[in-house]
Structure 1
Amino acid sequence: MAWWDLRPFFRFQSISTRFQDLSRRRLGFSALTSAHFSSINSPLIDKKNEEEFGQREVQLGSHTMSSHGYAVARVHMHDWIMLLLLVLIEITLYMIHPFYRFVGKEMMTDLKYPLKSNTVPVWAVPMLAIVLPIVIFLVVYVRRRDIYDLHHAILGLLFSILVTAVITDAIKDAVGRPRPDFFWRCFPDGKDVYDKWGDVICHGDKNVIKEGHKSFPSGHTSWSFAGLGFLSLYLSGKLKAFDRKGHVAKLCIIFLPLLAASLVAVSRVDDYWHHWQDVFAGGLIGLVVATFCYLQFFPPPHHPEGWGPYAYFTMLEESRGMAQGPNSQNGSQEAQSENQDGQSQHGCIGLSLAENQTSTLEDELESGRR
């Protein structure tokens, strides 16, 4: 049987594949260039086999909520404690009074928009940004039975929301920018009053006036983009939207959460609760924080292993190491070589793209060529 017929039975690169990599480095061609000179691109085939094999293992349901849920949560106990601290910080930031910026009579020209109710109520934002993504995470869990994916998705989502909320409210309190409807919040009867320095003397409801100084940035917008942006990244990894197969329909699916977040942002301007700068800054904060929190637990969506969390691939490598422990010394050396190849080629740990260390076998092959 020819050597290339045996490659599908191996998890990582075969000896001949490593020889091809060594030859390409000798010739100075990149992996992408060498793919055009050969009809058999071994590293790409191995990536595909690695991905399909990983998916099959996830669907086996060997790591469920009942079997590994407590252990996974215990490992991340300090993260859950940090979430509670973020909740306390957010409550404190919401309770304190924002900075009451000077508002003169000339400034009221842009602050006399009508006082309207919210098109998107406050209670609807957590439903869109938290509950909806978690429901989708649970649907994926029911299908794949992977507790690592479910736990890290929920943990990353909550961190994205709470970190965004703390940043947003901290800036709100520090800036104290008046909302576009500040005039009617400050003077509900339409009779404006100013002190000797020209600053407003509000006689409206204190809570309404307090909210009137929290325009920048938009909390509705930042929360929506933090939660739905995280969901968009999650779906793009699960659907393998960037697998270079050109399925634009996948992009339409991952754009839906971003569209919903954008509509929430537009409603804030239409309701005259925010200026357009507030909405833009809120959306930017939410997207940036969501991206950082997602990449803390998952590979980038364009990566071949972007469909699963880092913890799952780490668990697979540890399981393979334990299974190969009773083997002979040669078996242990082979497992170590596979782990090194897995880190460089497949990026299971840290997405390392460093060059593979030259093995003893490659040295022999190289000396044979000489």
Structure 2
Amino acid sequence: MMASLRYPMKDNTVPSWAVPIIAIVVPMIFIVGIYIKRRNVYDLHHAILGLLFSVLITAILTVSIKDAVGRPRPDFFWRCFPDGVPKYNNITGGVICHGQRSVIEEGHKSFPSGHSSGCFAGLGFLSWYLAGKIKAFDRRGHVAKLCIVLLPLLLATMVAVSRVSDYWHHWHDVFAGGVLGLVVASFCYLQFFPPPYSKHGVWPHAYFEHIHQTEGERNIQSTTNANLHHQSLSLDLSGSNEIRTPSHALDSMEEGSRAQ
């Protein structure tokens, strides 16, 4: 309890309303920018779906775990005793919190960090997305590409670290939140896109399925046209034979009449 006296409540360096902007709006800007440049509607559609699924699933898991675990935040002492004077029950010896009820309830939601999980869910998906678009794992040793891929993760890490410096989370909470968000982002990306190191890692699965389907339809159409052309040729040949047969018969009849 005395250790908590060193951690008075502090304002958030990154407020809660900034998390959706960092986790959703920032990746969306890159996704729309790539769509404007390359004009692939399949990529735009599935990238937005994957991003929203990643953030939404991570948020649901984070809130569920927070309510189930109920771990106190590092500044819980000051939430319980805003004036810094602890109070205890004279009979039972239990702690008597005299702070605001909502503040105390929020103080029991330390594990895992929602800021960390949300930012790693959105920016982690962006890292996967950029890795596929710039072909970061093409085995050519471009370090600059690797730096571009790591920039979103660096931003998410800075947000996570700020939660420890603000005494809102333990480092365990931040680490667990980051791992949770990154794992969910990875699953959501691979659900819609091939791995970035794949030769087809640039575009989503649906785009290549569309290409294969289009090629199949073209092959079927070309085969049908070839069959129709072959049938028309055979009909022309049979028609010419039918025309020639009566002409030969007439010639023979004329020759017969002349012989008589």
Alignment TM-score, normalising by the size of structure 1: 0.59
Partner Cα separation in structure 1 for residue 68 and residue 94 of structure 2: 19
Match of 2:53 in 1: 159
From the superposition, tell whether residues 238 and 192 of structure 1 become closer, same or farther in structure 2 (CA, over 3 Å): same
Match of 1:173 in 2: 67
Amino acid at match of 1:109: M
Compute the displacement of 1:110 (Å).
4.0
Q: Which of 194, 203, 212 pairs up with 1:317?
A: 212
Compute the displacement of 1:182 (Å).
0.4
1:191 aligns with 2:85: yes
Compute the displacement of 1:150 (Å).
0.6
Match of 1:79 in 2: none
Compute the displacement of 1:111 (Å).
3.2
1:235 aligns with 2:136: no
1:250 aligns with 2:124: no
Amino acid at match of 1:230: F
Task: Map Cα deviations across residues 213-241 of structure 1 (whole Å, 9 max, x no partner).
Answer: 11011000000100000000000000000
Q: Which has the higher contact order (CA 8 A, sep 6+)?
A: 2
Match of 2:16 in 1: 122
Partner Cα separation in structure 1 for residue 53 and residue 92 of structure 2: 44
Q: Aligned-residue CA RMSD in angstroms? A: 1.5
Amino acid at match of 2:196: P
Amino acid at match of 1:247: H
SS in 2 for 1:313: helix
From the superposition, tell whether residues 304 and 197 of structure 1 become closer, same or farther in structure 2 (CA, over 3 Å): farther
Higher helix share: 2
Partner Cα separation in structure 2 for residue 171 and residue 197 of structure 1: 31
Match of 2:4 in 1: 111
CA contact (8 A) 1:111 1:179 kept: no
Partner Cα separation in structure 1 for residue 168 and residue 93 of structure 2: 24
SS in 2 for 1:327: helix
Amino acid at match of 1:163: I
Match of 1:206 in 2: 101
Compute the displacement of 1:121 (Å).
1.2
CA contact (8 A) 1:110 1:180 kept: no
Gaps of at least 5 residues in structure 2 are 228-260
Larger radius of gyration: 2
CA contact (8 A) 1:157 1:227 kept: yes
Gaps of at least 5 residues in structure 1 are 1-107, 333-370
Alignment TM-score, normalising by the size of structure 2: 0.83
Q: Which of 139, 144, 156 pairs up with 2:38?
A: 144
Compute the displacement of 1:194 (Å).
2.6
